[in-house]
Chains A and B, each alone.
Chain A
């Protein structure tokens, strides 16, 4: 077998795969954050908690109701999205007229409530979720667990479908237009408040979907989204929230950067994304895909 800079290919490709998987989650989550921010003017701090809820709902469905993974993949995001819609209707919609700061603080408080309650009810140690596609394939240069391959492909498909939905469909045209000028879109006869509610549901559903996909890879625990959402904030600052494709590319790209760092300089793997953020702020403050203000 060949070696690359003294790194055995097994380790290199293994970490790259892990990076790609993390990147898939970054992409899905930052996509949801960007879509929500565009319409609601709120940075959804609850995003990590909703990701966790997605994983938890799938786990509860499996252990309490014998609902298999494939059904949970659809049901769990729906349930969590409905919960999000409720939050939007009861609370978020009352603060759109205020400074962004309040939306941030409100959703931060909601995240504390959700994560604290889950921790209180189920503890913080986490529960395993059995892989729905066990086994793997030996590709020669590495061993590829089947489920992980599925996650990468599924996340890519979901991201591209979201891109298509926003950039190429009628609903997406409404979304884009309402992001620019909600008053005018409403004066054309479109029920913009309902559009906003649906958008929040969509973004939250994406986070929950990422959570379901993550369940068989990570432990399902109350705090699985706590740190993740902070990394995703950095991803969003790096990519800028103006472009859907930008969010996807930045998410996957940063996952790979993280994976490579784990191979070549493991101690920095946790912090490398923040270092990238610092560099981007120095070089292109508006973000890689952002328009300068």
Chain B
């Protein structure tokens, strides 16, 4: 396990010096999406539930953040809290309904609810409709102690939030609760016959995943200073699936890798417009047809087979 520890230390060191080599806003955006993808992956990889509507938590949390900070003029901490709490509440309602069906129906139901939230956001007055919430000021954190106007300062805040979320997921997966969740994923009937109330475990995982997606969405609104319909759209729900898929479902670091790849790709392809969609589609197809384990999964397999061969 020392090699894993070495990799972790190396990655954290890299993250600490990164803003001196790369554009901080890009890094922060990527970290937000990485957390979002990890939250999604928690649900799919460890509870076996594929939500195709996770944008509703990500996007709504952005609106909650914006509304609290801009319209109510409250500090950003409360904005983040509102984002997380709002997403968790939304997760509780939609999750309780969605877990009444299984498998592919679960995906369709979450997708449908996300679409409902999307239509709601198009019309609701507090979202700003097509324009979204623009110009959300970056007010200092902790009563003025941390001036987040500076991109590099904000970067470390975002990194801390990301690490908090990542560690929370790690702890959750390795807790007794996470073990039960995996048992339910692998064989729900057996877990139920052992006396576990599968639905409660699933619902809690769903709410937790929604809350962390909300944390990611609210943080993104803090960084980018806006919240728009893009983040609640079905396309965004698809994007987070793609990130987790590219990196590797069910690996804990995979979604982070996937998020960085997809965000980098979008950065370079932004000018090509519709072509981003086409390329994303091609990636979906190629991964499903040929590399179902994702980048991290395939690399791990390759590494293992090389070791056992050598």
Contact = CB atoms under 8 A, between A and B. Distances in A.
Q: Is chain B found bound to chain A in the same assembly?
A: yes
Given A43-B104, A117-B278, A230 B283 contact: no
A120 interface: yes
A277 interface: yes
A285 B100 contact: yes
A112 B288 CA distance: 14
Identify whether the interface residues of B are mostly helix, strand, loop, or mixed.
helix
Contacts of A102: 288, 292
A109 B283 contact: yes
Contact of A108 (B102, B103, B273, B284): B284
Interface centre among A114, A115, A274, by most chain B C-beta atoms within 10 angstroms, is A274
A104 interface: yes
A258 B273 CA distance: 34
Interface residues of B, number: 42
B109 A277 contact: yes
Interface of B: 50, 52, 97-98, 100-105, 107-109, 111-113, 115-116, 119-120, 122-123, 234, 238, 241, 245, 273-278, 280-285, 287-289, 292
A95 B288 contact: yes
A144 interface: no
B104 A112 contact: no
A237 B105 contact: yes
A43 B52 CA distance: 13
A152 B257 CA distance: 50
Contacts of A104: 50, 52, 104, 107
Contact of A106 (B123, B273, B278, B285): B285
B281 A111 contact: yes
B273 A120 contact: yes
20 contacts: A43-B104, A91-B285, A100-B104, A102-B288, A104-B104, A105-B241, A109-B280, A110-B284, A112-B278, A113-B277, A113-B278, A116-B278, A117-B274, A120-B274, A120-B275, A234-B115, A236-B108, A237-B108, A281-B97, A281-B98
A146 interface: no
B277 A116 contact: yes
Contacts of B288: 95, 102, 105-106, 109
Given A95-B288, A104-B104, A237-B109, A112 B116 contact: no
A230 B245 contact: no
Nearest to A109: B284
Nearest to A278: B97
Contacts of B101: 237, 281, 285-286
Contact of B289 (A91, A100, A113, A231): A91
